[in-house]
Amino acid sequence: MYDDHDRPTGPADRDLPGPYAREAVSSEAGADERRLEGALRPRALDEFVGQERVREQLSLVLDSARKRNRAPDHILMSGGPGLGKTTLAMIIAAELGSPLRITSGPAIERSGDLAAVLSTLQEGEVLFLDEIHRMARPAEEMLYVAMEDFRVDVVVGKGPGATAIPLEIAPFTLVGATTRAGMLPAPLRDRFGFTAHMDFYSAEELERILHRSAGLLGVPLAEDAAREIAGRSRGTPRIANRLLRRVRDYAEVRGDGIMSLDTARATLELYEVDALGLDRLDRAILDVLLRRFRGGPVGLSTLAVSVGEEAETVEVVAEPFLVRSGFLARTPRGRVATPLAWAHLGLTPPPDAAFGAAAAAQGGGTTGSGGTNGNGSSGTP
């Protein structure tokens, strides 16, 4: 019905361009990695680990639709990259026994692109629209009508002579996914019957995902190795699975084929994932923020340019984890490093640093001492 290999990819996505390509994978290996990633996807709601509330909400929506023998309400999923939005969309279609069509916001440049998709949907089909916030504006308006009235107004002609011909389309369920729910216009947001907010996963949930994936890969994974990988996976299943595949490579090529704690640690060190899960981009952001901007505040675009990345990548991929882990704070005047960031990079904040002096005065947080560690990275085993 669908193949992960063919699914569209976006900017805040798997194999990011730029010097800090994420998640320990090169772009040449991208297609192969995506195929493997697809093989590790849970196929049913009860195989989907974590996100208890979302699962319960979703199962109610699906059960009710099945009971009424109607297509369920449109569903919006919001959350960072790699938290399982695509997986859930595939599960929704599978649970409903419906076909799934996958497209993405950036692929819809004109309303005609959307009309072509909508007008060929089968009754009850699930349409997964990834990165829905990046769809062209005129297409958005067409989508409103399609979601509400299952109708597409095809405009024929131009200028004053243009006429809209209404075209009925089959009732379908839209599953929209976004990493930036705030960017969706209210009229679009309001047309979804339910929004699933995907959160970061706990270490224990990631361990369960890792054991499940190791079983599918057919490579033994020690308990302590799973704990180590889970703790460094930034609360994100995609990262956990990626790291696991690198540990498997290491175990098979340099070890005895078993993913032990030592193998996991050696792999994570090789790929520069530190003890708290920060990788090169995270550390580069903190390094620039601390050394060049004395802890901030500094604007997002300045920060992004300084590390050679797109602002969206910094904002969507790196920042949520840095904020959640207490390294970075967003303030009205810009991004500010916390005492934890200074400590993690082994740097001493100047007395006038935002947070530095205030925190010291309050005795709050460890501000760290002992100067720099030279390369701005720390915590690597």
* Residue 63, marked binder: no
* Rounded to 5°, angle at Cα 4 from 214 and 110: 150
Q: Measured between alpha carbons, how far apart are the two ends of the chain, in Å?
A: 43
Cα–Cα distance, 250 to 256 (Å, whole number): 9
* Residue 227, marked binder: no
Strand, coil or helix: what is 100? strand
Nearer to ligand ATP, 49 or 188 (CB): 49
User: Active-site residue 153, yes or no?
Assistant: no
Annotated catalytic residue, options 14, 22, 85, 234: 85
Shortest distance (Å) from residue 36 CB to ligand ATP:
8
Shortest distance (Å) from residue 368 CB to ligand ATP:
34
- Under 8 Å between Cβ of 323 and 338: no
Annotated catalytic residue, options 14, 22, 86, 248: 86
Shortest distance (Å) from residue 160 CB to ligand ATP:
43
Please report the beta strands in the chain, taking only residues with DSSP state E, as ranges in sequence order: 75-78, 100-104, 126-130, 151-156, 163-168, 173-178, 194-197, 328-331, 334-337
Nearer to ligand ATP, 55 or 330 (CB): 55
User: Active-site residue 85, yes or no?
Assistant: yes
Shortest distance (Å) from residue 239 CB to ligand ATP:
8
Q: Which of 145, 50, 41 is nearest to 100 (CA)?
A: 41
Annotated catalytic residue, options 34, 134, 238, 242: 238
DSSP state at residue 137:
H
Q: Which of 53, 2, 87, 17 is nearest to 281 (CA)?
A: 17
* Residue 245, marked binder: no
* Residue 86, marked binder: yes
* Strand order through the sheet with 126-130: 100-104, 126-130, 173-178, 75-78, 194-197
- Under 8 Å between Cβ of 27 and 15: yes
Nearer to ligand ATP, 130 or 319 (CB): 130
Q: Which of 61, 58, 64 is nearest to 44 (CA)?
A: 58
Nearer to ligand ATP, 89 or 115 (CB): 89
Q: Which of 242, 214, 239, 236 is nearest to 226 (CA)?
A: 214
* Residue 292, marked binder: no
User: Active-site residue 254, yes or no?
Assistant: no
Token duo for residue 304 = 């992004």
Cα–Cα distance, 57 to 53 (Å, whole number): 6
* Residue 40, marked binder: yes
* Chain residue whose CB lies nearest ligand ATP: 84
- Under 8 Å between Cβ of 199 and 79: yes
Nearer to ligand ATP, 130 or 315 (CB): 130
- Under 8 Å between Cβ of 92 and 67: no
- Is the bond into 19 cis (omega within 30 degrees of 0)? no
Annotated catalytic residue, options 179, 236, 338, 367: 179
User: Active-site residue 366, yes or no?
Assistant: no
Nearer to ligand ATP, 239 or 341 (CB): 239
Shortest distance (Å) from residue 75 CB to ligand ATP:
13
* Residue 141, marked binder: no
Contact residues for 215 (Cβ-Cβ < 8 A; gap 6+): none
User: Active-site residue 67, yes or no?
Assistant: no
* Residue 67, marked binder: no
Shortest distance (Å) from residue 224 CB to ligand ATP:
21
User: Which residues sit at the interface with ligand ATP, rule CB under 6 A?
Assistant: 13, 37, 40-42, 48-51, 81-87, 130, 179, 209, 237-238, 241
Bridge partner list, 231 = none
- Residues at the binding site for DNA are 330, 335
- Residues at the binding site for ATP are 40-41, 82, 85-87, 148-150, 191, 201, 238
Which are the catalytic amino acids?
Answer: 85-86, 130, 179, 238
